[in-house]
Chains A and B, each alone.
Chain A
Amino acid sequence: MNLDLILGILQIVLIATTPLVFAGIGELVTEKSGVLNLGVEGMMLVGAVSAFIILVITGSYFLAFFVSILSGIIMSGLFAFLVLFLMSNQIATGLALTIFGIGLSSMLGKQYIGTPIDGLSPWFFVIFSFLIVFLVSYFFYKTKAGLILRAVGESHNSAHALGYSVIKIRFLSILFGGSMCALAGSYISICYAPMWQEGMTAGRGWIALALVVFATWKPERVLIGAYIFGGVTILQMNLQALGLRFPGQFFSMAPYVATIIVLVLISSNKLRIKLSAPASLTIPFYRGR
């Protein structure tokens, strides 16, 4: 193997992994506040289509990403309203959000399929994805607000007793998650594969969900996990192209199996999982008696 080949592979891995990092870090913040949002795939699709439509209409990349993030905020806002104020079941509501997002994105994008656009270079976003992970990490472990957010995810009753607004903090965390998912979607439709096609995120939202656990709810590990996931996919393609034979399904399966193994390894140490997993995940909070 020569250096060019390796650098080339590295480039492809960076480009392919970036959407996983965005969606993963967004969902991580949401989960860290104690809310599980299974609507990642739906929010990514709506983000992807709205960025594409705005780009076609206005020609402005800035507006495209801006509106896309706005769409993520609206989608996740809907989810937040349901689970925080109406206290609906988080798992069912997240699944419903995905169904809704799949439908909404296909309907909005119908007439834009096959419109050619000029793709944007991915490198800004690749760098930004690293930056945002470190910002989130800094926020969690070096700022008071981050500490409060983690406390809310850990024990909402204690946080409430200390006078913090559980609902407000969770609301903001959900919105952040939504905007990151939408950013991941718009990166896919504008930079990664510049086009709009129905369902074009092709299951990356579900991988992002796996990623958060894989990372044991630690921001910098989302980055590592995402690159292992992305790397495995690209590596198997390279092996195939080199003429090695193996059933592709087993390589496609690898990220999921790896997640389970990592989960087992980290969870078997009860203390360690306690330190990282938000204890109040999926448990609704209400200010009743």
Chain B
Amino acid sequence: MIRIITFLSTFLVFAFGSAYADPKKVGFIYIGPPGDHGWTYMHDVGRKYMESQLGDSITTTYLENIPENADAVRAIRKLADSGHDLIFTTSFNYMDQTHEVAKDFPDIKFEHATGYIQADNVATYSARFYEGRMIEGHIAGHMTETNTIGYIASFPIPEVVRGINAFYLAASKVNPDIKMKIIWVFTWYDPGKEADAANTLINQGADIIVQHTDTYAPCQAAQKAGVYAFGQASNQEEFCPDAHLTSIEDIWGPYYAERAKAVVDGTWSSGDTWDGMDKGMVVMSPYNTKLMPASLIQEAVNMEVGIKDGTIHPFTGPIYNQAGELVVPEGEVAPDGMLLGMNFYVQGIDGEVPQ
């Protein structure tokens, strides 16, 4: 009897092929808890979007709070060992760990977020968040009355420095008198410290708070002090409705769905994806109509269109560094290589990138 069933099921699988194939297993490694309302939260939103798009053809798993050290190898490997076909590792410092495991599992596909090394079965992906910073800079240039912007930065890595530069270039274009005050808090995540930094900046005259840290504490502080703020990673309007101008949202869902689909179809190939607004990976939260004039919102929307069709690039020359040297000549845009390793401020920003 058992034998007959086994035979039948084998027959059925062969007969109906992929329609009855096992669903592909997609695994995620998270650096934090999916409820952090910041980085990990948006990856989890992307995971859920992927599930909704691909339905029964995939199942998903995630491992949360995986530290970026030797433990990560085991976590990634456990996903690989337990039959996952596609594994997303969603933090930069999983890079070596991802490659270490990928070496031993040539048939499993890996996707490493924000990394810069690829392999046959390891693709990398990231988003051009600096495009959103440009729009924020433009808005800030118009909205500020004190001409002082407070910027809360986490760690001096290219991603953060790029954001500061893109923001400043756009802001100083509409308002040459603008001044940036930058506080490096050396953490991604400490609500109290982020609030302290926001309050310090406001106290020093900043009337717009920009953050490159994970929680909505700075936006809340801005709300309390009656100044404006930009949110981070997800739409934070509900936490600070009277301060929130817009947020840069990390939209991973469509990319995740596309890559998982490729694995289901057997068409996945490695590569390096660095998408921006054009592919919908970077999205601006709805502009706050209560706080911003309609004309400014229209300008921001036009800017989005320009960025999407390639007529606007946040790093268009001439761009000078602090020493006054021309780094991007007139009429050219900064090459991706320069953006990827960016560790200098452009001319006009005070202070130096902490080294």
A and B touch in the complex (CB under 8 A): yes
Q: Mark A1-24, 1 if CB is under 8 A from B, else 0.
A: 000010011011001100100000
Given A194-B220, A198-B33, A241-B181: A248 in contact with B351 (beta carbons within 8 A): no
Let me know if A241 and B183 touch, CB within 8 A: yes
The verdict on B197 contacting chain A, using a C-beta distance below 8 Å, is yes
Given A195-B217, A241-B181: A200 in contact with B200 (beta carbons within 8 A): no
Let me know if B203 and A243 touch, CB within 8 A: no
Q: Looking at the complex, which one of B181, B215, B354 makes contact with A248 (CB distance below 8 Å)?
A: B354
Query: How distant is the Cα of A199 from the Cα of B188 in the complex, in angstroms?
Result: 12
The verdict on B35 contacting chain A, using a C-beta distance below 8 Å, is yes
Given A114-B37, A195-B191: A240 in contact with B196 (beta carbons within 8 A): no
The verdict on B192 contacting chain A, using a C-beta distance below 8 Å, is yes
The verdict on B101 contacting chain A, using a C-beta distance below 8 Å, is no
Contacts of A8 in B (CB 8 A): 199, 203
Contacts of A289 in B (CB 8 A): none
Interface set, chain B 168-225, CB cutoff 8 A to A: 181-187, 189-197, 199-201, 203-204, 215-217, 220, 224
The verdict on A234 contacting chain B, using a C-beta distance below 8 Å, is yes
- Measured CB to CB, the closest approach of chain B to A112, in angstroms, equals 9
Interface set, chain B 213-268, CB cutoff 8 A to A: 215-217, 220, 224, 238-239
Let me know if B217 and A5 touch, CB within 8 A: no
Chain B's interface size range is 35 or more
Query: How distant is the Cα of A200 from the Cα of B38 in the complex, in angstroms?
Result: 14
Let me know if B191 and A197 touch, CB within 8 A: yes
- Measured CB to CB, the closest approach of chain B to A5, in angstroms, equals 6
Contacts of B352 in A (CB 8 A): 245
Interface set, chain B 88-109, CB cutoff 8 A to A: none
Let me know if A12 and B199 touch, CB within 8 A: yes
Kindly report which residue of chain B lies nearest to residue A199, judged by CB atoms. Answer: B189
Task: Report which B residues bind A (CB closer than 8 A).
Answer: 32-33, 35-37, 41, 150, 181-187, 189-197, 199-201, 203-204, 215-217, 220, 224, 238-239, 350-352, 354-355
Task: Report which A residues bind B (CB closer than 8 A).
Answer: 5, 8-9, 11-12, 15-16, 19, 106, 110-111, 113-114, 116, 119, 188, 192-195, 197-202, 204, 233-234, 237-238, 240-245, 247-249, 252
